[in-house]
A = this chain, B = another copy of it.
C-alpha cells in the first residue's frame, strides 16, 4: 500500500472523499439513514459513523497527542469486525441505534475531520501516516458503494417503492452485439503492479498459467436473461449447482432480486420499466453460473478476467456498470501476508466461502477501480450490482 500523493493533495483528497459520503445521504431522511433491512446491509448512518471510526481508531488514536475519543462508547458501537480492537455491537442490531442521531453523527464526522486535517498538517511528511490515510479513504469509498446498495435494499422493502433519487434515469443505449474476444493464454503475472494504491489482497503479484480462453465483449443484458427465464431456467435443476437449486426452491426464486412482477424493476429512481438493453444486475453467483451453463458458456476465472482486462482488446463495460462474478473462490495469493495488528483483519480473514467479482459497478466511486481489484461476496449475495460476463 503506497500513497504517492503530496501532502496538499492528500488533504484535499481527504476532504473530497469525506464530503462525498455526506452527499450520498443528502436525498435521505434521518429515518431512512437509521433503518437496517437485513444483517448483511447496514444503515447509512452506521456507514457514516464507521468510516469515521476507522480514522479515529487507526489514525487519531495512535498518532494524536493527548488523544481523547469523541465518545467512549463509539469504539464499540461502530467497530465492524475488528476483533483486535475489542467488543463490537452486534451486526444485526445496527438498525436499533436510534442514538446517536444523524445530527450527532454529522458532529462526529466534523470533529474527526478537523482533527485529521490538523494531524495531516502537522505530519505532512509522514509517509506511513499518509499510507494509512489513503487506506482509510479507499475504505470509505468501499462504504460509499455500500451506502447505495444498502439503502436500495431498504427502500425496496417498502411497498411504496420510494425513490432515492427523484430524477428520471438516463436512457440506456441499445446493447451492442455480443462478440467473443480470444486470448491466447500462457504464463502471465497477475496482482497489483506499480506505485498506486492497492489492497493487501491484490498482492503479491505472482505468476499463473492460463489456458487459451475467450471472453464476451459485453455484459449479459436484462433481455438476454429474460430469455433464460422464459426458457424455464429457474425450473430446470440440471442447470444449477446443488446449493443454487436449494436456494431457488427455498426462496421460490423466479427472477433477479429487484425485478417486480409487472415488467418493472426497483431502482434508485423507484420502480421503473425494465430496460432490456441494460446490463443485468442483482444476480447471485448461482444464477450467474446457471445462466452461463444454459448459454453454453461458463464464468471466467479471476486470472482470466485480469489477464484480459490488462490487455488491449475489445472488451466493453469492464468498469462502471456491473461487478462481474468469477468462478474463483476468494483465496490468498501465494505469499499473501496481511498487515500486522488489527488492521490486518481487513481482508485476510474473509478468505473462505466467498467468490471474487471483478471490474466495478455504477455505484463504485470514480477512480476506485483497477484491473487487479478483488471484490468478494458469498455465492448467494444478490443486493450488490452484480452481473455476468461470459467466458468459454
**A195: Cβ under 8 A from any B Cβ:** no
* Contact (Cβ within 8 A) B29 A241: no
Number of copies: 4
CB of A103, distance to nearest CB on chain B (Å) = 9
* Contact (Cβ within 8 A) B98 A242: no
What are the residues of chain B within 8 A of A142 when measuring CB–CB?
none
Q: Which of these binds chain B: A81-89, A222-230, A251-259? A: A81-89
Query: CA–CA, A157 to B289, complex, Å?
Result: 36
Among A101-140, those with CB < 8 Å from B are: 101-102
CB of A123, distance to nearest CB on chain B (Å) = 28
* Contact (Cβ within 8 A) A35 B35: yes
A240 nearest CB neighbor, chain B only:
B349
CB of A294, distance to nearest CB on chain B (Å) = 14
* Contact (Cβ within 8 A) B349 A241: yes
What are the residues of chain B within 8 A of A160 when measuring CB–CB?
73, 77, 99-100
CB of A154, distance to nearest CB on chain B (Å) = 6
* Complex partner residue of A98 from B31, B327, B331, CB under 8 angstroms: B31
* Contact (Cβ within 8 A) A353 B335: no
* Contact (Cβ within 8 A) B209 A96: no
A380 nearest CB neighbor, chain B only:
B353
Among A133-176, those with CB < 8 Å from B are: 154-155, 157-160, 162
* Contact (Cβ within 8 A) A335 B211: yes
Among A170-218, those with CB < 8 Å from B are: 187, 206-209, 211
* Contact (Cβ within 8 A) B334 A211: yes
What are the residues of chain B within 8 A of A329 when measuring CB–CB?
329, 331
**A40: Cβ under 8 A from any B Cβ:** no
**A30: Cβ under 8 A from any B Cβ:** yes
* Contact (Cβ within 8 A) A101 B29: yes
Among A225-239, those with CB < 8 Å from B are: 237-238
CB of A29, distance to nearest CB on chain B (Å) = 5
Query: CA–CA, A62 to B281, complex, Å?
Result: 43
What are the residues of chain B within 8 A of A345 when measuring CB–CB?
238
Q: When each residue 65-104 of chain A gets 1 if its CB lies under 8 Å from chain B and 0 otherwise, what string results?
A: 0000000010011000101100001000101111111100
CB of A209, distance to nearest CB on chain B (Å) = 4
A332 nearest CB neighbor, chain B only:
B327
CB of A242, distance to nearest CB on chain B (Å) = 4
CB of A20, distance to nearest CB on chain B (Å) = 22
* Contact (Cβ within 8 A) A99 B335: no
* Contact (Cβ within 8 A) B83 A237: yes
**Most chain B CB within a 10 A radius of its CB, from A34, A244, A289, A335:** A34
* Contact (Cβ within 8 A) A73 B159: yes
What are the residues of chain B within 8 A of A243 when measuring CB–CB?
352-353
CB of A284, distance to nearest CB on chain B (Å) = 11
Query: CA–CA, A85 to B353, complex, Å?
Result: 29
Q: When each residue 317-338 of chain A gets 1 if its CB lies under 8 Å from chain B and 0 otherwise, what string results?
A: 0000000000111011011000
25 A-B residue pairs with CB within 8 Å? A29-B30, A30-B31, A31-B102, A34-B35, A35-B98, A83-B237, A83-B238, A84-B237, A89-B159, A97-B158, A98-B154, A98-B162, A99-B155, A99-B160, A187-B187, A206-B211, A211-B335, A238-B345, A241-B349, A242-B350, A242-B352, A243-B353, A285-B352, A289-B352, A352-B379
Known: A98-B155, A206-B211. 7 other contacts (CB 8 A): A207-B209, A208-B209, A209-B209, A243-B352, A243-B353, A329-B331, A353-B353
